[in-house]
Amino acid sequence: MKLNVVLFEPEIPQNTGNIMRSCVGFHAKLHLIKPYGFALDEKHLRRARLDYFKYLEYEEYDNLEDFLKKNKGAFYILSRYGHQSPKNIDFTKAKEDIYLIFGKESTGLPYDFIANNLDKTFRIPTTDKVRSLNLSNCVAIMLYLASSQVIDETLISHEPDSLKGEFFIDQYKKEE
């Protein structure tokens, strides 16, 4: 079973770059639905995607219909219009690949798409002070939630810091 993140017409390069990094970290494939609010190149995504881009598995689509025609699986739509909390999702019941679908930052997903899939639409709960959370934060929350239920633990490494080593922090212990 594969985790997939779907971005419908992403507008902010920093969000998309952060999401790319999260997808690499969670072994998820990224699906990008055009048009974008930026160019998908090094210059526009440099800061957020860093050097992780070479590890990213991704695919691009001309529109939502193109994506839906080419992909089958368990779809979970995230929208501020969802009536259910994602904490109620049992990802272990999915027998196919899992697709976490997110809309563009300014207007989300097409209303007819949400209305026709309301039973698969979820809203990350927040206080009444905000409409929604930042897109890249929502993706990270959902990737963690899904992966904690369905990914074999051997796929997500819990190795110590790969840059400084397993025992780096030990040097800061105070002797008693």
Range of the domain at 129: 3-172
Helix (H, G, I), strand (E, B) or coil at 8: strand
Give residue 91's pLDDT band: very low, low, confident or very high (50, 70, 90): very high
Q: Which helix (H) or strand (E) holds 100?
A: strand 98-102
Q: Which residue has the higher pLDDT, 165 or 116?
A: 116
Instruction: Answer whether residue 49 shows pLDDT above 50.
Output: yes
Query: In residues, how long is the chain?
Result: 176
Instruction: Answer whether residue 156 shows pLDDT above 70.
Output: no
E strand intervals along 71-122: 74-78, 98-102, 121-122
Give residue 139's pLDDT band: very low, low, confident or very high (50, 70, 90): very high
Averaged over 75-81, what is the pLDDT?
Answer: 96
If you write DSSP's letter for every residue of 83-149 in order, what string do you get? SB-GGG--GGG--S-EEEEE-BTTTBS-HHHHHTTGGGEE-----TT-S---HHHHHHHHHHHHHHH
CATH code, domain carrying 33: 3.40.1280.10
Give residue 154's pLDDT band: very low, low, confident or very high (50, 70, 90): very low
According to the model, what pLDDT value does residue 51 have?
Answer: 72
Counting the structural domains of the chain, the total is 1
Highest mean pLDDT among 50-64, 101-115, 160-174: 101-115
According to the model, what pLDDT value does residue 164 have?
Answer: 79
Q: Which residue has the higher pLDDT, 31 or 130?
A: 31
Give residue 160's pLDDT band: very low, low, confident or very high (50, 70, 90): low
pTM for the predicted model, two decimal places: 0.88
